[in-house]
Chains A and B, each alone.
Chain A
Amino acid sequence: MSLKVPTMAEMLANGETADVLFWVGCAGSFDDRAKKITKAVVKILNHCNVKFAVLGTEESCSGDPAKRAGNEFTFQMQAMMNIQVLNGYEVKKIVTACPHCFNTLKNEYPELGGEYEVIHHTQLIQDLINTGKLSLEGNQTFKGKKITFHDPCYLGRANDVYEAPRSLIEKLDAELVEMKRCKTNGLCCGAGGAQMFKEAEKGNKEINIERTEDALETNSSIIATGCPFCNTMMTDGIKHAEKENEIQVLDVAELIANAAEL
C-alpha cells in the first residue's frame, strides 16, 4: 500500500485544511531507521483517515540540538523561520514522533510567537484507539511477548508523559515489564543535550550500554521506545551486547502498525 503524504502546500492549493500537522523532524526525515518509524506513523494516520499534512521541504530543524548545545542564536533563527511557516499555514495542532521536537515546539516556541497544541504520536494513537478509530482487537502479533518501555527523557521527565506509550503497549496483549529505572527515574539513553552529535566525554562506560543492560535485565524480547534517538542508542547497545538476533528495538508506532497489520 502506498503512503498518502500530503503536504501543507498541496492541501492549501486544493483548498483543504489539515486537522493536524505531522512534524516529521530531521531524524524522521533523513535517518534510515527513523524513516521506518515515520512511515509507521503515516500508515496509522492513513488507516484512520486522519486529515493530516506534512511541511515536506518547508520543514526545518526545530533547533533543539542547537539550544541544548548552548547556541541560542541558531535555535531562535530556526524557531522564528519555522514559526513563520507554521503561522502562515495557520497550524493549530501538531503531532510529532520525536520527543525533542515535541518539547521544543510545545514549550519553547510559544515565547517566540508559535502557539500550537503539540502532542506526541503516542498520545495521538492513544486518542485514535480511545475514540474507536483504530482497533487492535483480536491482534495476536505480540501476544504474550515481554516488552519493556524505555522512557525518552524529553517525553517523560521533561513533559510528564509516561502513560500514553504504556497504555498502547498494554493494548497489544503483551506483557509490559518495567526496567528497574523507569518513569521519573528512567535512565537517559545518552543522546540528549546534543550528545547524539558528539563523542562522549572520557568515562568508564557508554551511557547507552548502561541503559541497555537495564533493558536486558527484564528479559524482554522487545525494547519499545518513542524517540528516534533513543532508538538508535538502544539499537547500538543491543548490537554491543550481541543480542540483535534475539531482541528488537521498536518504536511504539511500529508496534501498533504491526499489530494492526498495516
Chain B
Amino acid sequence: MIQISVFALLFAGGVGFFSWNVIKIRQNILLGRKLDRTDHAADRWKTMFLVALGQKKMFTRPIPALLHLCLYAAFVITQIELIEIVADGLSGGHRSLKDSLGGFYTFMISFIEILSVLAFFATVAFLARRNMLKLPRLTMRELKGWPTKDANLILIFEIILLVCIFTMNGADEAAQLLHSNTSYGFAVSQFIGPLFFGGIKSTETLHLLEQIGWWGHITMVFVFLNYLPYSKHFHILLAFPNTYYSNLEKKGKFSNMESVTNEVKLMLDPSADPFAAPANPDEAPQRFGAKDVTDLTWKNLLDAYTCTECGRCTSSCPANITGKKLSPRKIMMDTRDRLMEVGDSQRKHGKDYQDGKSLLGDYISEEEIWACTSCNACVQECPVNIDPLSIIVDLRRYLVMEESKMPTELTGMLTNIENNGAPWQFSPNDRLNWANED
C-alpha cells in the first residue's frame, strides 16, 4: 500500500510539474506575432509523418542518423513498457500485461530489449563523439558551458534508464529461474539475467534488485520528463508540432509585410488622403521587423524551443564555414534563451514590463545577421524544419527600416535601386544598350 501511494505521489508530482512547465512554454510561444499555419492539413500531416516520425531529413548524414534511430526507436517503443510500469505501480501488481497478452508480450518485451541494447551502444557512441572525437559542430563557441553539460546529462540519463531496465528484467529473470526454473524468454534478459545475477541465490535479494531497477527506471522517467522543459532535449516532443506547422511554401519566398503593402499602396495611389484617420486608431502600430522575441512569429519561437542544438545548420552555413561569426544554431539558442527571460519577467512583473534588453544587441549582434547569404542551407539541413533564416531577415528588417542601420555599401545599393531602378549606378535609359553592343 505504501508503495502504491509513493508511486501515485511520484506520478502525480511528475506529471503535474511537467504540465506546469509546458503551460509556461506555451505562454512564451504565444508571445509571438500571429501567423496562420492551419491550411493544407493533409500536407502538414504528411510532412510531420515523414520528417518527425520518419526522420527523413536525418538520413542525409547516415552514421549519426542510424545511431539516432536506435535511440529514437527504443524511446518510442519503450513507451509501451511504460504503460505496464504505470499500471503495475498504481495497482501494486507485477507484469500486469503479461497474462492478457501472452506470446505477444514476450515478443514486445524482447523487441524493447533489443532496441534498448542498440540504444545503449548508440548512447555510448554519442558520448564518445561529443567528448572524445570532438566533432567541430559539437564543440563550437555557442555550446560552451550549459549546452555541453545539457547534452552530456541527457546521454547519462539515458544510460541510467537503460541500466535500470536491464537490472529490472535481468534480476526478475534470475528470480524466475531460481524460483521455478523457468525463463521469461525475453531476448536479452534471458542471457543478462543469469550472467549478472545468476550468482545470487536469494530470492529476496533478486526481488530487491528488481525493485531497485523498477523504481530507478520510473524515477528516472519522471526526472527526465521534468528535465525536458529545461533542456534542448524538448525536441523529442516539439519535433511533431514543429514539423506539422512547417513552412510549406518555396524556401526562396520571404514573407510579405502587409503593413508595408498598405503604406506603399497609399504612396502609389494619387487619390489617397495622407491625412485620413488610420483604420484602427486604437491599435499601436507594429514595429517593422524584429528587435526582440515578441516581434517574431509564434512559429519562430516554437522553432527555438524545438532546436536540439545538433548544429547541422551551422555546419552547412557558408558564412560559418568561412569563419564568420554567424551560426544559425546560435540564432535559435539566443532566441530561446531570450524568450525564457522575457516570459519569466513578464510572469513576475506583468505584461508591460521592459527589462531594457533585446534579442538584437544583447544576444545577437549586427555582425552576425549581416553575414547571412540567405542561401537556405540551414533551413534545408534542419531535421525538424526549423527556419533560422526568417529570424535573421526579420532582424535585418528592424535594423534597416526602424533604425536605418546597415553596412554603408548597402545604403548605396538601396539608393541606386530607388533612384535608377538598379543596384548599381546606371541610368535606366541605358537598360537596353546591350542589345546593340557587340
Contact = CB atoms under 8 A, between A and B. Distances in A.
A202 B325 CA distance: 8
A130 to B, nearest CB: 23
A78 B417 contact: yes
B401 A72 contact: yes
B185 interface: no
B397 A29 contact: no
Contact of A80 (B264, B319, B375): B264
B272 interface: no
B325 A201 contact: yes
B407 A66 contact: no
Contact of B322 (A66, A193, A210): A210
A48 B336 CA distance: 55
A73 B402 CA distance: 11
B377 A69 contact: no
A199 B324 contact: no
Given A30-B422, A76-B260, A160-B250, A207 B373 contact: yes
Given A29-B431, A193-B375, A74 B417 contact: yes
B375 A71 contact: no
Given A61-B417, A71-B414, A72-B260, A205 B323 contact: yes
Interface string B395-438: 11111110000110110111001100111101011111111010
Contacts, number: 216
A35 B407 contact: no
A190 B410 contact: no
Contact of B423 (A157, A197, A211): A197
A107 B253 contact: yes
B120 interface: no
B413 A69 contact: yes
A74 B261 CA distance: 11
Interface in B310-360: 316, 318-319, 321-326
Interface stretch (A171-179, A181-189, A218-226): A181-189
B289 interface: yes
B318 A207 contact: yes
B267 interface: yes
B324 A194 contact: no
Interface in B355-392: 367, 370-377, 379-380
B373 A107 contact: no
A42 B432 CA distance: 13
B256 to A, nearest CB: 4
Interface residues of A, number: 73
Give the contact-size bracket for chain B: 35 or more
A185 B253 contact: no
B288 interface: yes
A242 B367 CA distance: 31
A198 B407 contact: yes
B341 to A, nearest CB: 25
Interface stretch (A51-59, A131-139, A162-170): A51-59
B94 interface: no
A26 interface: yes
Contacts of B252: 103, 107, 154, 157-159
- Please name the 6 residue pairs, one residue from A and one from B, whose CB atoms are nearest each other, closest first: A158-B252, A70-B396, A193-B374, A204-B323, A60-B421, A203-B323
17 contacts: A5-B435, A35-B437, A69-B406, A76-B260, A76-B264, A107-B250, A108-B256, A111-B261, A153-B374, A157-B375, A158-B250, A159-B252, A186-B377, A188-B375, A197-B413, A201-B370, A206-B322
Interface of A: 3, 5, 7, 24, 26, 28-31, 35, 38-39, 42, 54, 56-57, 59-61, 63, 65-74, 76-78, 80-81, 103, 106-108, 111-112, 153-154, 157-160, 184-188, 190-207, 209-211
